[in-house]
Homo-oligomer: A and B are copies of this chain.
Amino acid sequence: MDDLEIRKAGLKVTLPRIKILELLREHTDRHLSAEDVYKLLIGCESDVGLATVYRVLTQFESAGLVKRHNFEGGQSVFELDRGGHHDHIVCLDCGHVEEFIDEVIEKRQRTIVKEKGFALEKHALILYAHCSRGNCPNRNR
């Protein structure tokens, strides 16, 4: 149940929070922007303000429930954090997101950083590509 995760994060279990978590669970193929979440909420009775959406997403991020990514396009997008790091392939046409993790790349990164005398904190690897799904072409995100 959603309640538990929110409670575990030390947050009150409120309708906006439950709804937002629910939405993120339903949309795993395409990461959602705050605006996206807001619009989806409007479309389903719940009357949640945009400021609340931003607030909740940011809190969820701090709590480790969601991850924020800065793909191209200026606005942040969010995805459920189901633990475990992964990188992304993003379709430039339809916004479809595919996850992947590659140990060869991960290892090389650590090596490179160490060689340069840095201490790796985190990384962002995004492959921008064109996917080949039937419903894709031109459905510009």
Contacts and interface: CB of A to CB of B under 8 A. Distances in A.
A119 to B, nearest CB: 5
A118 to B, nearest CB: 4
B123 A130 contact: no
Contacts of A70: 70, 72
Interface in A103-141: 104-105, 108-109, 112-113, 116-132
Interface residues of A, number: 31
Interface in A88-114: 89, 91-92, 98, 100, 102, 104-105, 108-109, 112-113
Interface of A: 70, 72, 89, 91-92, 98, 100, 102, 104-105, 108-109, 112-113, 116-132
